[in-house]
Amino acid sequence: MSLWRSIKFGLSSLLHGARHVQEIDDEVKQFYEEAAVAYRERGLSEQDARRAVRLDLGSPEVAGQQVRSYGWENTVTSFAADIRFAGRQLRRNPGFTAISVVTLALGIGTSTAIFSAINPILFKPLPYPHPGRILMIWSTWQGSRSEMAFGTWLELSHRSHSFESTAIFEPWQPTMTSRDEPQRLEGQSVSARFFQALGVTPLLGRDFRSSDEGPRAPKVVILSDRLWRQRFRGDRGVIGQALKLDGDNYTIIGVMPPGFDDVLSPSAELWAPDEYDSSQITREFNSSEWGNHLRMVGRLRPGASQVDARQELAGIARVPWSEFPRPRWASLERGLIVDSLQDDIAHTVKPALLAVFGAVIIVLAIASVNVINLLLARSARRVGEFAVRGALGASRHRIVRQLVTESMLLTLIGGALGIMTAVAGVRLIVFLSPSELPRLNAITFDLEAFLFASVLIAIIGFVAGTVPALHIARNDLQSGLQNASRRIAGTHLWTRRFLVVAEISLAFVLLVSASLLLRSMQRLLAVDPGFRPSHVLTMQVVTSGHQFDEVPANPSGADRRRRFFDEALEAVRHVPGVESASFTSLLPLSDDSPVAGQYGAQFEDQKSQSGYNVFRYAVSPGYCQTMAIPLISGRFLGEQDSQGAPQAALISESLARRHFGNRNPVGSRLHVGPRDRPWYTVVGVVGDVKQTSLSIDQEDAVYLSTRQTWFADDALSFVIRARGNAATLVPRVKSAIWFVDRDQPIVRLITMDRLVAISEAQRRFILILFETFGIVALLLAAVGLYGVISGSVAERIHEIGVRMALGATRNDILVLALRDGMRLTAFGVGIGLFGAFAASRGIASLLFGTSELDPVSWLCMLATLGSVTVLACWVPAWRGARVDPSSALRSE
């Protein structure tokens, strides 16, 4: 009813604005004329009648305005007028507008980009149905997460009732052979209910069944949508076709949907059922079913809570059942670690991400404060203008609304540019981010990021609009007119001073954090990796094919494998430019799994239940020489340590010190891995090598010759020391290896220098972000300080003139202004010290070899901040000191 009419009338008056106004004016005019006629009828003269009407009814203009301001459309038109006026104002001050807009755009853009990056990792639900019901279950080793054995999973899945389905999985990197170069694919070996646990089903074909599992089941595989499209051009008839992987024919039984995002292995292209044999869960514990190399995922039953599941699993871990025997290394006596899938994939990066997010919010705060400062300075200059407008009849409400509209418009433009910056920033982050960042392919600029940016824009626009407006409302418009624009209202400066102090303290917080991270990076890069990475090229060579299988039907498989690697190494050694070449089963600082590379070691004089966890390096005899790992005592491995010869081992210095103290370990004997094999004799001690990270001191290691280990590794990393540039050797080395066997894939070609660098990629990434934010914060704070000091100098120009007339030197004036700025800086730093202390606690887990209170970092940043702020104050101070006293006084 009336709503519709109201909209209709409003729209029509909007559309025919001029006619609408004319009609109202006509009506008002007619009203007054009729009134005048009425007076004339009572006998007044024409002129007297008009005067009487005026007196009686007031001004027709005011009446007309009252009528015109009725209706919702009126708000729209006056708002549009405000916007137009604000636009003109901003255009008239291009410098101010550009600086504010760019500052806001950068602030909003970077924080939105960072938000987009952390949102899928920390906040956004995983792309599965009821993602909160998916849990990860780990065994515990040294208090942290550790992979579990097939036997452990079998026991847990039998005894637990909290789960709808559970599954185990491990990486699987099959080689696909065809007419082209052999290609190694990234995949996962999973138990049958893996996809059920995640809650997804194949788009084409079928899911795995329990009959697909085990060593004797026919080999089947499910493909990712990407692989299906690349390899089979999206052919729907692919189900049932064969795919040759590692020399076996796998039948394709399914294709996953295009949107399927395997957060447990983001680069996985294909999945096959595991081949563990539940009949091998025996009390001998020497089958691969008892190796701790599986991860476990489970989906809770509807209604079961995470707490219940955790309690139930803890109970199972505590009380073994006799029908489920457990070996020493899978005793579960330290319990299990249970966590939601979301928290699990985020737990390693969470502190870093939150720190980066905090840092970017600080930058945003400084940027916004700067813009508010600029707005305050501007509205201070416009006091005269507002006074004139007030005198001409604009209400205070109207002027405040105008100011808020201007700030809002500014923020909106800055925000729009900021969103564009964010879209570009997200791409940059994805490009720069370390590959170990989880959910990398889910990082996009999405609706949530847009909403985040919009909320930021709204908050900043509101604050930036109200703070200057409050000042206007408080200052009497009349006194503003009297003072014209000569004297800047003091309250503005007080607010601006306060804001600048806040900026300086926030900038100090960021600077100290960035500096602590920088010091950590320096300390880290100064860590000796234990080998000489320069001029070393590495590549992983993988053997694939049944000729290498170590099965009863093929007794010489292992020998064949060893022979292939030896021949390939010999071929590489003959490549011109190669100084020396060797191989190792475990490459330091690479992504080789540290869990898979670790074995129990037990010296002859140790009890059966004790031992050490050591890295087992199966190497060619010259490996330590090629890597330049120093010999501490004894001898290196040599050609004499061959098959059939007494088994020789090198141990690392840390292991030697741990077990032997000052005694000489050479000549002592130990077992590595299975105990039912001949003893290894220590023939030498070599220097410690960082295996997993430069920051981790986990260096107990044993080096064995590949010819004397109990199994032949199927993938070895070649390390090639070049005479010149290592990278130029790549094509020749590759063709040398493929000359021996063209079906063996070569992966992870990289120089050792590069490998060392990317092993700290995540740390470096965070450092770069913090450094950037710190510098930006410093610059913004300096600009803010500069603005306030020049404002205060301008305000005191008269005072300066008086002082100079009374005999103050230029130096005195300079000191006066500088002291002002330094006082603000001191306040800012004083407050910042507390903030920085809190922040350094927050990033403590990201530091390496650097105390949170590292004096060098703190003092350096104090000095940096101090000198930059001195510079920012010096320019306006100098300008103030050059004021000509007579002209300053005359301008009064």
Partner 1 sequence: MNEPNTDVIQGTLDLLILKTVSLEPLHGFGIARRVEQVSRGVFKVNPGSLLTALQRLERAGWLDSEWCTTEHSRRAKFYTLTRAGRKQLEIEEADWTRRASAVARLLRQEA
> Which residues are at the interface with partner 1 (CB under 8 A)?
1-2, 5-6, 9, 23-24, 26-28, 30-35, 37-38, 57-58, 60, 62-67, 70-71
Cβ 37 to partner 1 shortest distance, Å:
6
Enter the DSSP assignment of 292: S
Q: Which CB atom, from 65 or from 331, has the smaller least distance to partner 1?
A: 65
Q: Which of 251, 209, 249, 254 is nearest to 228 (CA)?
A: 254
Beta strands in 173-247 (DSSP E): 175-176, 183-184, 187-190, 204-205, 220-223, 242-245
Q: For 335, how many CA atoms within 13 A lie in the half-sphere containing its CB?
A: 10
Q: How far is CA 685 from the centre of its chain?
A: 41
Beta strands in 199-316 (DSSP E): 204-205, 220-223, 242-245, 248-255, 270-273, 295-300
Q: Which residue has the tokens 């923020």?
A: 411
CB 207 within 8 Å of CB 254: yes
- 3-state SS, one letter per residue, for 553-569: CECCHHHHHHHHHHHHH
Which amino acid is present at 402?
Q
Q: Which CB atom, from 43 or from 240, has the smaller least distance to partner 1?
A: 43
Q: Which CB atom, from 57 or from 354, has the smaller least distance to partner 1?
A: 57
Q: How far apart (Å, rounded) are the C-alpha atoms in residues 716 and 541?
A: 6
870 sits in which H/E element: helix 855-881
Q: 200 is written with which tokens?
A: 């997804």
Burial class (CB in 10 A: 0-12, 13-18, 19+), 585: buried
Q: Which CB atom, from 6 or from 534, has the smaller least distance to partner 1?
A: 6
- Please provide the size of the chain in residues: 892
Cβ 504 to partner 1 shortest distance, Å:
54
Q: Which CB atom, from 36 or from 589, has the smaller least distance to partner 1?
A: 36
CB 449 within 8 Å of CB 112: yes
Q: How far apart (Å, rounded) are the C-alpha atoms in residues 310 and 377?
A: 59
Angle at 602 between CA 601 and CA 605, to 5 degrees: 160
Q: 617 is written with which tokens?
A: 């390096």
- What are the residues whose beta carbons fall under 8 Å from the beta carbon of 539, sequence distance 6 or more? 717, 718, 720, 730, 733, 734, 746, 747, 748, 749, 750
Look at residue 821 and give its three-state secondary structure. Answer: helix
First to last CA, the chain: 65
Q: Which of 27, 33, 38, 16 is nearest to 64 (CA)?
A: 27
Q: Which CB atom, from 27 or from 812, has the smaller least distance to partner 1?
A: 27
Q: Which CB atom, from 72 or from 494, has the smaller least distance to partner 1?
A: 72
Q: Which CB atom, from 57 or from 458, has the smaller least distance to partner 1?
A: 57
Q: Which CB atom, from 53 or from 509, has the smaller least distance to partner 1?
A: 53
**How many C-beta neighbours within 10 Å does residue 616 have?**
22
Cβ 20 to partner 1 shortest distance, Å:
10
Enter the DSSP assignment of 586: S
Q: Which CB atom, from 8 or from 226, has the smaller least distance to partner 1?
A: 8
Q: 731 is written with which tokens?
A: 């094509």
614 sits in which H/E element: strand 612-619
Cβ 368 to partner 1 shortest distance, Å:
41
Q: Which CB atom, from 24 or from 736, has the smaller least distance to partner 1?
A: 24
Q: Which CB atom, from 71 or from 266, has the smaller least distance to partner 1?
A: 71
CB 345 within 8 Å of CB 438: yes
Q: Which CB atom, from 29 or from 209, has the smaller least distance to partner 1?
A: 29
Q: How far apart (Å, rounded) are the C-alpha atoms in residues 255 and 241?
A: 12
Q: Which of 460, 237, 465, 453 is nearest to 365 (CA)?
A: 460
Cβ 51 to partner 1 shortest distance, Å:
16
Q: Which CB atom, from 62 or from 853, has the smaller least distance to partner 1?
A: 62
Beta strands in 154-286 (DSSP E): 163-172, 175-176, 183-184, 187-190, 204-205, 220-223, 242-245, 248-255, 270-273
Cβ 62 to partner 1 shortest distance, Å:
7
Q: Which CB atom, from 11 or from 696, has the smaller least distance to partner 1?
A: 11
Cβ 13 to partner 1 shortest distance, Å:
10
Percent helix, strand, coil in the chain, to 5, is 55, 15, 30
Cβ 1 to partner 1 shortest distance, Å:
6
